Amino acid sequence: DVKVTQSSRYLVKRTGEKVFLECVQDMDHENMFWYRQDPGLGLRLIYFSYDVKMKEKGDIPEGYSVSREKKERFSLILESASTNQTSMYLCASTEGAGPYEQYFGPGTRLTVT
Amino acid sequence: QKEVEQDPGPLSVPEGAIVSLNCTYSNSAFQYFMWYRQYSRKGPELLMYTYSSGNKEDGRFTAQVDKSSKYISLFIRDSQPSDSATYLCAMSYTGNQFYFGTGTSLTVIP
């Protein structure tokens, strides 16, 4: 079974803090994605990566950056957390450049106070 | 206008009922269509996948795509309490980047 793990299930941070969300997949998948999920807005793509050291902006990249130094690990960085970044963050991975199933992690619920 | 529209519900049905979940979309270039199920406090998991128009059946689940109407549906027959979850539609034109609906919350009452 593919497993996608996220470093924290719940996280509380203060406004202005730098926040790191880590995602690790164990199936040698090439593509990795970061979404945020908000009531009434659904899943929105923040960033994705097709390969190590490669990244592409999704629909809502503002206020976020990402890092992919190793194939299995994809990090989402909030440079200066703000209250409007309070959300559920979901990481996903897929096998290759095709319409493959996205395997999701359990999510990190981030609260910025 | 959102790329993908989905009625958020909530939807509440008795056990054994037939459930119909729907999404509409605006981008006629979409050709990959998926349904995900998300249980509370978990990540979404793929339920059904269809390419282009037509129907696909898997056990109690049937996915339908009508590209002429830009409308997709998921039917659940003989619904069970274990089907209680949020159902998300997702679609793509490249197969790489997917656009998700907001999700429909379903409760099946025993």
Question: What are the pLDDT digits (tens) for A4-46?
Answer: 999 999 999 999 999 999 999 998 988 999 999 998 888 999 9
Give SS3 for B58.
Answer: strand
Determine which of A60, A104, A108 to mutate to test the interface with B (most B C-beta atoms within 10 Å): A104
What's the CA gap between A36 and B10, in Å, rounded? 21
Residue A86 near residue A93 (C-beta atoms within 8 A): no
Q: In chain A, positions 24-63, which contact chain B (CB-CB < 8 Å)?
A: 31, 35, 40-45, 48, 50, 58
* pLDDT tens column, B43-90: 999 998 888 888 999 999 999 999 999 999 999 999 999 999 999 999
Residue A47 in tokens: 């960033």
Q: b/e for A28-45, b at 16 or more Cβ within 10 A?
A: ebbbbbbbbbeeeebbbb
Q: Which chain A residues are closer than 8 Å to B101 by Cβ?
A: 42
Q: What is the pLDDT of residue A38?
A: 93
CB nearest A105 (choices: B43, B95, B98): B43
What's the CA gap between B15 and B78, in Å, rounded? 7
Q: What is the pLDDT of residue B3?
A: 85
Q: In chain B, positions 69-88, which contact chain A (CB-CB < 8 Å)?
A: 88
Does the CB of B23 have a partner CB in chain A at under 8 Å?
A: no
Residue A23 in tokens: 């995602």
* pLDDT tens column, B20-48: 999 999 989 998 999 999 999 899 999 98
Residue A99 has pLDDT above 70, yes or no: no
How far B100 CA lies from chain A's nearest CA (Å)?
Answer: 6
* Beta strand residue intervals within chain A, DSSP E: 4-6, 10-13, 19-25, 31-38, 42-49, 56-57, 64-70, 73-78, 87-94, 103-104, 108-112
Query: In sequence order, what are the beta bridge partners of A111?
Result: A12
